[in-house]
Amino acid sequence: MRNCIIAQSGGPTVAINASLAGLLDANANRSYFGRCYGALNGITGILDDRLLDLSRIMSKTPDFTDRLIHTPAMYLGSCRYKLPDPDSEEGERICKRIFLLFQKYDIDSFFYIGGNDSMDTVLKLSRFAEKNRSSVKILGIPKTIDNDLAHTDHTPGFGSAAKYIATSLREIACDAYIYAVKSVTIVEIMGRDAGWLTAASVLARTDSSPAPQLIYLPEVPFDLAACVRDTKSLLERENNIIIAVSEGIRDAQGNYLSANQAVRDKFGHAQLSGTGKALETVMRDQLHVKTRSIELNVLQRAAAHCASETDLTESHDQGAYALTASMEGKSGQMMTIHRIEGTSYQTRIASSPIDQIANKVRSVPLAWINDAGNDVRQEMIDYLAPLISGQPSLFYKNGLPDYLDLSHLRG
Amino acid sequence: MRNCIIAQSGGPTVAINASLAGLLDANANRSYFGRCYGALNGITGILDDRLLDLSRIMSKTPDFTDRLIHTPAMYLGSCRYKLPDPDSEEGERICKRIFLLFQKYDIDSFFYIGGNDSMDTVLKLSRFAEKNRSSVKILGIPKTIDNDLAHTDHTPGFGSAAKYIATSLREIACDAYIYAVKSVTIVEIMGRDAGWLTAASVLARTDSSPAPQLIYLPEVPFDLAACVRDTKSLLERENNIIIAVSEGIRDAQGNYLSANQAVRDKFGHAQLSGTGKALETVMRDQLHVKTRSIELNVLQRAAAHCASETDLTESHDQGAYALTASMEGKSGQMMTIHRIEGTSYQTRIASSPIDQIANKVRSVPLAWINDAGNDVRQEMIDYLAPLISGQPSLFYKNGLPDYLDLSHLRG
């Protein structure tokens, strides 16, 4: 029996370990790989030969995969490493080094669990394998709270982040309603280019609670004057206005609200902060009411205590399906999930060629955003609602979630 | 049968409605009051005669008190109203108006659920009642996430906030460990003068996770240079340092880290923001590592989805005990909770004269803070641990906590 390597990359989600668990559980059932190795810190762990023997850890740790499902962030650690083009001299040298390690450990398949940048790595490695007639299969398993991968209905990690955002917005609304004074609360939500996460705030609404009354996604130009006008008009009818705003909103000229604070990361993406704070300042100056801003920050991607059971189950299933894909001889593919049309929510898992997915961004359809650009339509609510359902049974100890030991990552 | 009025005041907690439920449940069992009225927005609802007939709502709403227990913030709304001294002309006029309303509704007892400022109101009203030979009993039921009320082991709302803080810190730690690069994460926690909430971050630690490695409370002077030095020294041993810092930390001269942002509220308390952000800037400038700050913000007082069952139960019990106190003819008292000395955690509820409680602040004992002023001692851990235990069974609907309708507060 040959072996496999699994690695995780990109930003954390609370479901990325569920996919790892799904793959390990499937292999325990079907005994396809002799050993499952985990590379530490993504592709860099392969370059540095830093591997964990996951099969051994699994056999020694009670409830290992069950606890893995409920542990946030990456059990194997992550990296932000951009693989150079394999056609470049440097890229070829690095790819050769990776495939030498695959040879050393008798690797049949390499599974990379990650988002857009990780799928770029899957694309490059699978092209290199093809070009060099390597038999190693390269497969991608998606995860990203941003929900912006193409060719899949939604991505692992998104449903749980959506649930945390909607739960928090609902609780922030309770907090805002208690004082009989006019107030504006701005909640800044992650999502550089895709508004899926911010859109999820709509689920906080109930028959008796309209918050968030305004929702701004990065897919449509942000009109600051209209936002102030809409808020003012709402304040005439009710005391407490809550505004959900994506960190990535830009005006018609493409300028970020907090443009002077934008810097770029290694992949060339703008790193934003302070959108909520910037809007808070404008609102306070122009509306003269109590104003505050709240940044949901990393908890929207790390709050495993508030995960969606549907998300964890589907993430586990996609990890398990990756084993099937490998057994079927597939390579250069990413696992995908598809909604079966019908009255109730049902899905099926498949896979799609990575070159149709990598380096593409799936934005919110403009038809799901209202004409004024300050709310989402019913189609979005129907799409989001099933993804947050179910509360997982966490392991608790002394009143706190008992997550797996991550000390192997602490350096 | 005579009636009672209940009101809530101050900042929200997730347990303040549990005390209201406890009082209503006790009265349903013992039929002492004919009607329980709720004044909207604290004492201002009494001044404006805005009352809810809680007995009627309770009889008409299925599971009303059970759902109340699990609904965050104030079902009756809040206010930030400082009652003038009843010995002043204005104070006397306002107190007379309050007691006229008590007469109108045939009130036997007034229960005020709140923190330090609300207990000041209880003190003033009970003195006015005594001086004017009114038979209306004035009783205080504590709540404050700050845990800073005197004469009680801890306050309703604190245990749940502590649980949310410890849970979030543990999840932030998972999020921080994944990258193999040096990083400093600063988590800003509420607590203007008392460090109880920030101290609760210590519960996030496990045998395999030391975060937060540094904890700074407002009870001891904050030494910025020592903090930078300690962080630098820790970074030599491990990659990811998490620092829990109270919003209220001050240097030896009493200056806030974010002094230029401090403004004062109506009670003369400094309103702080930006302590974490200020420390983030200093750390980035001096240590040249990845640095970020996270403000836990209002969710630490509103996240009912992460409440402590122990806290909710004790809050309910203190509400119920307030009925007993009234039946025993007590007035000018606040309910208190006391730990019964022994091996396991057991408590008893009592009450104490309000003049020994109002306008006093119970800080963290200096003996529970280490000599370096950057951590807490085992005594603190032993004190905190039982307060966060147990996970409540929330009402869920469509994947989200189903809180009570608060539309009567929306103006």
A261 touches chain B (CB under 8 A): no
CA atoms within 13 A on the CB side of B59: 7
Band of the pLDDT at A179, cuts 50, 70, 90?
A: very high
Which of B40, B178, B409 comes nearest A409 by C-beta? B178
**Domains in chain A, please, with CATH?**
3-157+305-360 (3.40.50.450), 159-302 (3.40.50.460)
Which of A78, A171, A294 comes nearest B303 by C-beta? A171
Which of A175, A207, A208 comes nearest B73 by C-beta? A175
Please list every residue in chain A whose beta carbon sits closer than 8 Å to the beta carbon of residue B297. Answer: 294-295
Q: Is B138 annotated as a binding residue?
A: no
Query: What pLDDT, in 10s, does the model give residues A217-262?
Result: 999 999 999 999 999 999 999 999 999 999 999 999 998 886 544 4
Write down the pLDDT at residue B265: 44
**Section B55-63 average pLDDT:** 95
Band of the pLDDT at B32, cuts 50, 70, 90?
A: very high
Asked if A305 and B238 come within 8 Å (Cβ–Cβ), the reply is no
Asked if A298 and B175 come within 8 Å (Cβ–Cβ), the reply is yes
Write down the pLDDT at residue B167: 98
Please list every residue in chain A whose beta carbon sits closer than 8 Å to the beta carbon of residue B168. Answer: 299, 303
Asked if A305 and B301 come within 8 Å (Cβ–Cβ), the reply is no
Q: Contact A40/A408 with Cβ under 8 angstroms?
A: yes
Q: List, by residue number, the catalytic residues of B.
A: 146
pLDDT, averaged across chain A: 94
Write down the pLDDT at residue A2: 97
Please list every residue in chain B whose beta carbon sits closer than 8 Å to the beta carbon of residue A297. Answer: 294-295
Query: What pLDDT, in 10s, does the model give residues B258-279?
Result: 654 444 444 555 444 589 988 9
**C-alpha–C-alpha distance, residues B305 and B293, integer Å:** 24
Write down the pLDDT at residue A323: 98
Biggest CA pair distance of chain A: 71
Query: What pLDDT, in 10s, does the model give residues B339-358?
Result: 998 768 999 999 999 999 99
A71 touches chain B (CB under 8 A): yes
The residue among B182, B400, B404 with the most chain A CBs within 10 A of its CB, best to mutate, is B400
Write down the pLDDT at residue A300: 97
Selected residues 199-238 of chain B with any CB under 8 Å from a CB in chain A: 203-204, 206-209, 238
Q: Contact A318/A333 with Cβ under 8 angstroms?
A: no
Percent of residues, chain B, with pLDDT higher than 70: 96
Distance from CA of A322 to the nearest CA of B (A): 23
Band of the pLDDT at B376, cuts 50, 70, 90?
A: very high
**Picking from A211-220, A259-268, A349-358, B341-350, which range would have the lowest pLDDT averaged per residue?**
A259-268
What's this model's pTM, rounded to 2 decimal places?
Answer: 0.96
Band of the pLDDT at A212, cuts 50, 70, 90?
A: very high
**What's the ipTM?**
0.95
Distance from CA of A129 to the nearest CA of B (A): 27
Q: Which residue of B has its CA nearest to A401?
A: B167
Band of the pLDDT at A269, cuts 50, 70, 90?
A: low
Residue B143 three-state SS: coil
- Chain A, chain B: beta-carbon pairs less than 8 Å apart: 197
Is residue A271 pLDDT above 50, yes or no? no
Write down the pLDDT at residue B192: 86
Query: What pLDDT, in 10s, does the model give residues A7-52?
Result: 999 999 999 999 999 999 999 999 999 999 999 999 999 999 999 9
Query: What pLDDT, in 10s, does the model give residues B292-326?
Result: 999 999 999 999 999 999 999 999 999 999 999 99
**C-alpha–C-alpha distance, residues B168 and B396, integer Å:** 21
Query: What pLDDT, in 10s, does the model give residues A372-400?
Result: 999 999 999 999 999 999 999 999 999 99
Which of B71, B238, B399 comes nearest A163 by C-beta? B399
**Section A328-346 average pLDDT:** 94
A308 touches chain B (CB under 8 A): yes
Q: Is B229 annotated as a binding residue?
A: no
Query: What pLDDT, in 10s, does the model give residues B85-126?
Result: 999 999 999 999 999 999 999 999 999 999 999 999 999 999
Q: What is the dihedral of CA A353, A358, A364, A367, to 10 degrees?
A: -50
Write down the pLDDT at residue A341: 87
Percent of residues, chain A, with pLDDT higher than 70: 96
Is residue A177 pLDDT above 60, yes or no? yes
Q: Contact B208/B197 with Cβ under 8 angstroms?
A: no
A63 is an active site residue: no
**Section B202-224 average pLDDT:** 97
A395 touches chain B (CB under 8 A): no
A345 touches chain B (CB under 8 A): no
B406 touches chain A (CB under 8 A): yes
Distance from CA of B299 to the nearest CA of A (A): 7
Write down the pLDDT at residue A262: 42
